[in-house]
Structure 1
Amino acid sequence: MNAMRITGIVLIVLGLVGFFTGGFSFTKESSKAKVGPIELVVQEKETVNFPQWLSIGAVVLGAVVLVMGSRKS
């Protein structure tokens, strides 16, 4: 399997994962106040969204790269 076919498959898989999950979230801790031995820590939930047009574009681009990679073989 050549590099173009692998790249095409990876783009398709990443595009599908981004399309079906829609994004991911994570928790960020930050220290807001510290008075002597007492520390106030706040946990904030951050969300990163993947635009659907970007996911669909990755799938289409992956399909094009996959077809072009298999034509040269």
Structure 2
Amino acid sequence: MGSLRIVAIILIIAGVLAVVYGGFSFITETHQADIGALSLSIDEKKYVNVPAWAGVGAILIGGILLVVGRKG
């Protein structure tokens, strides 16, 4: 399996996930205060929105790469 085909498959999978879920979330830990041995920290959940057009574009580009990879 060539590297072009692997990139195409990854783009298609990422595009489908972007269209289905619309984004992803992650947690960042921020340290608010350190007082001696006492440490206070806060976990913040952040969400990144992925536009639907970006997901569809990734699917199309992945499909094009698959077709070009077969001909080459």
Shorter-chain TM-score: what band? 0.7 to 0.9
**What is the alpha-carbon distance in structure 1 between the residues aligned to residue 7 and residue 37 of structure 2?**
52
RMSD between superposed Cα atoms in Å: 1.6
- Higher Rg: 1
What amino acid is aligned across from residue 37 of structure 1 in structure 2? A
- TM-score, normalised by the number of residues in structure 1: 0.79
Between the two proteins, the alignment pairs up a number of residues equal to: 72
- TM-score, normalised by the number of residues in structure 2: 0.80
**What is the alpha-carbon distance in structure 2 between the residues aligned to residue 41 and residue 4 of structure 1?**
44
In structure 2, what is the equivalent of residue 6 of structure 1?
6
* C-alpha distance after superposition, 1:1-54 (max 9, x if no partner): 433333322211111112112121122111111222222211111112212111
Query: What residue ranges of structure 2 are gaps of 5+ in the alignment?
Result: none
**What is the alpha-carbon distance in structure 2 between the residues aligned to residue 51 and residue 63 of structure 1?**
19
Range with bigger deviation, 55-64 or 13-22: 13-22
Query: What residue ranges of structure 1 are gaps of 5+ in the alignment?
Result: none
SS of alignment partner, residue 12 of structure 1: helix
**What is the alpha-carbon distance in structure 2 between the residues aligned to residue 4 and residue 38 of structure 1?**
52
